[in-house]
Amino acid sequence: MRDLIVTENITLDGVIEATDNWFGPAGNDSPDVDQSDHEVAIREQREAADAFLVGRVTFEQMRDYWPAQTDDTTGISDYLNKVHKYVVSSTLRDPRWEPTTVLRGAVDEEIRSLKALPGNDIVVTGSITLVHRLIAAGVVDEFRLFVYPVVIGHGLRLFPDETGLTALRPVENRQFRSGVVLLRYRTA
């Protein structure tokens, strides 16, 4: 059975909405390093996943940006152009970014079916409305949170008031030279 992994960039106060320019690439941490330790962690996660799940709005934003990035040295563009993308949408007709499957049914049923297929991790990022639905449906297996040392005080948060989650089990914490910290939690 495949795991559904929610990976988000998040502030210290729980905001995942990318407002006020708090979120940016961690970049190279020193001129002597080809890739930042943060980029290495992101690459490791990409290599462990063969499916990418998003909501329509995030999908359209990514589709309009990533395929055109011909000078991307992070590997994100290549990965997104090749990985099988699943978009939860009742309105999207032609995804125009292959390989993509549009999921139109009940989210919990669609995701349980997708998790039952053979393969590696399914990663969802951004897509706050979808993530809230996935949390409520109880289908998330793991949260991977890249915590930025910033406090915003406003914006959409990862965990709205009534999530139904009572406990998470920590499995990793890793600090990067940029000050960002990766926290990984499994659902109980």
pLDDT at 33: 42
Fold of the domain built from segment(s) 4-18+33-187: Dihydrofolate Reductase, subunit A (3.40.430)
Q: What is the pLDDT of residues 107-135, one digit of tens each?
A: 999 999 999 999 999 999 989 999 999 99
Spell 18-44 as b/e; 16+ CB within 10 A means b.
Answer: eeeebbeebebbeeeeeebbbbebbee
pLDDT at 32: 42
Mean of pLDDT over the chain:
88
d(CA 174, CA 183): 7
Q: What is the pLDDT of residues 38-70, one digit of tens each?
A: 888 888 998 999 999 999 999 999 999 999 898
Q: Which residues contact 173 (CB under 8 A, 6 or more apart)?
A: 181, 182, 183, 184
Q: Where are the domains of the chain?
A: 4-18+33-187
